[in-house]
Each structure stands twice: as structure tokens, then as C-alpha cells.
Chains A and B, each alone.
Chain A
Amino acid sequence: NAGVTQTPKFQVLKTGQSMTLQCAQDMNHNSMYWYRQDPGMGLRLIYYSASEGTTDKGEVPNGYNVSRLNKREFSLRLESAAPSQTSVYFCASSVITGRSQPQHFGDGTRLSIL
């Protein structure tokens, strides 16, 4: 019963470095999401994928790319990390995309950009 698994849990990068955050779910969910959470702010949607092979921008997509590798996996890539991207990143999944469908979250990746 792993649910949504995110790797790594912690990472420190230097400005300009690149990195891919990994997310996998074992619940056979169609929809997957990437959020960031900053101090004093709620979770903000970066990108989401309603189904395998499709991705859409969320509220704060700039500086990020995503890849829905298959139904299970949804990765988030920072091509050239900036200090403003220091945050806690959460991946989530749901059966389908829909406001009535609860999203199941991973435990987060804490990312620091120096």
C-alpha cells in the first residue's frame, strides 16, 4: 500500500543545476498533479496530467517541465534551478480529474536551491 511515492525526499542544488523529481502511484489512477508549497502560502498547482500522454499547465508552470512517462509515473524537471524554486514539492493522483475526486498526495520533496 505505497500510494504515491516521491523521490528524493530532500535535495540541495546550486543555481543553474538541473534535476528531475520522480513520482509514482500504484493506485491505477488516471490523473496526476505536481504542487509546490511555500511558507505562508497554500499549495499551488504547477502541472497536471489528466491521463497518460497528456499534460497541462497549472497556476505556476514557469521554470518547470513535466513528463507523464506512463500511467504510474509523472516526473517534474527543473532545467536550470533558481533560488525562487526553493520549496516543498508534492505529487498527487486521483481516479479522474474532477473537483469531486479527492487527490492522494505523496510525502513531498524538500528542495533547496543555493
Chain B
Amino acid sequence: DQQVKQNSPSLSVQEGRISILNCDYTNSMFDYFLWYKKYPAEGPTFLISISSIKDKNEDGRFTVFLNKSAKHLSLHIVPSQPGDSAVYFCAAAYNTDKLIFGTGTRLQVFP
């Protein structure tokens, strides 16, 4: 049973526009959420995180929104750049401190 779901396997966005990547979870015990970015032939790189006591966290062009009632989080990238083209994984954790990863969304930013 997939506890963390990224239902869109891919997303294509024009350079300069907003990219919105979505993630849904089923376990209401999750209290910490992270986004990782992965380029081909490299390991995932930590991007941004959010605690369940917040509903928004911002870091430069990246903003993560958390809607606990809907068990949904999203990553907004504004403006999108070609270098943002990568696979994005969301991950969730609760008191076991183990991360549960989603299946990833491949973002392509075109000129």
C-alpha cells in the first residue's frame, strides 16, 4: 500500500512559468514532509521541507504548501528554469524517523 503518492508521473512547463508538483499521503500520523530533486545518474538532493505545524515554507524560488485536512502537499517552483528539469520525490516521516518516499514526478522545463 503506497502511503505517499505522486499521481503525476510527469509534468512539462515552459521556462518562466510556475511548476506545481503534487503529493498525497494516507497516513495522518506523518508530521514531517520533504522534497528531494534527482538528476539522472545522481543521487537525490534535499530541496525543502515542512513540519506539520506549518502550512507553508518558502526558500527562494521554492515553496511547499501543506494541507493537512486534505492530506496533500505541493511544491511550487517560480519561475521555472531549464535547470529545474529533474525527477522530484516527496517524502514523509513520523515518529519512527524513517522516510517514506513517493514514486516521483519528472519535471521538464522547456524554453
Contacts from A to B (Cβ < 8 Å): 4, 40-45, 48, 58-59, 90, 92, 97-100, 102-108
Which residues does chain A contribute within 8 Å of B44, judged by CB atoms?
43, 90, 105
Interface residue? B49 (CB, 8 A): yes
Contacts from B to A (Cβ < 8 Å): 4, 31-32, 34, 36, 41-46, 49, 51, 89, 91, 93-94, 97-104
CA distance A108 to B43 in the complex (A): 6
- B101–A107 CB distance below 8 A: no
- B103–A107 CB distance below 8 A: no
CA distance A48 to B98 in the complex (A): 9
How far is the CB of B2 from the nearest CB of chain A, in Å? 8
- What is the total of A-B residue contacts with beta carbons within 8 Å? 53
- Tell me the interface secondary structure of chain A in the complex: loop
Q: Provided the pairs A99-B32, A100-B32, A100-B51 are in contact, do residues A107 and B41 lie with their beta carbons within 8 angstroms?
A: yes
Which residues does chain B contribute within 8 Å of A107, judged by CB atoms?
41-43
In the complex, given contacts A45-B98, A102-B49, what are 17 additional A-B residue pairs having Cβ atoms less than 8 angstroms apart? Answer: A42-B91, A43-B89, A43-B99, A44-B101, A59-B98, A90-B43, A97-B97, A98-B97, A99-B32, A99-B99, A102-B46, A103-B99, A105-B36, A105-B45, A107-B41, A107-B42, A108-B42
Q: Provided the pairs A98-B97, A100-B49, A102-B49 are in contact, do residues A92 and B103 lie with their beta carbons within 8 angstroms?
A: no
Across the two chains, which residue of chain A brings its CB closest to B96? Answer: A99
How far is the CB of B95 from the nearest CB of chain A, in Å? 8
Which residues does chain B contribute within 8 Å of A48, judged by CB atoms?
98
A-B contact pairs, 28 of them (CB 8 A): A40-B103, A41-B103, A42-B89, A42-B101, A42-B102, A42-B103, A42-B104, A43-B89, A45-B98, A58-B98, A59-B98, A90-B43, A90-B44, A99-B93, A99-B94, A99-B97, A99-B99, A100-B32, A100-B51, A102-B34, A102-B46, A103-B46, A103-B99, A105-B43, A105-B44, A107-B41, A107-B42, A108-B43
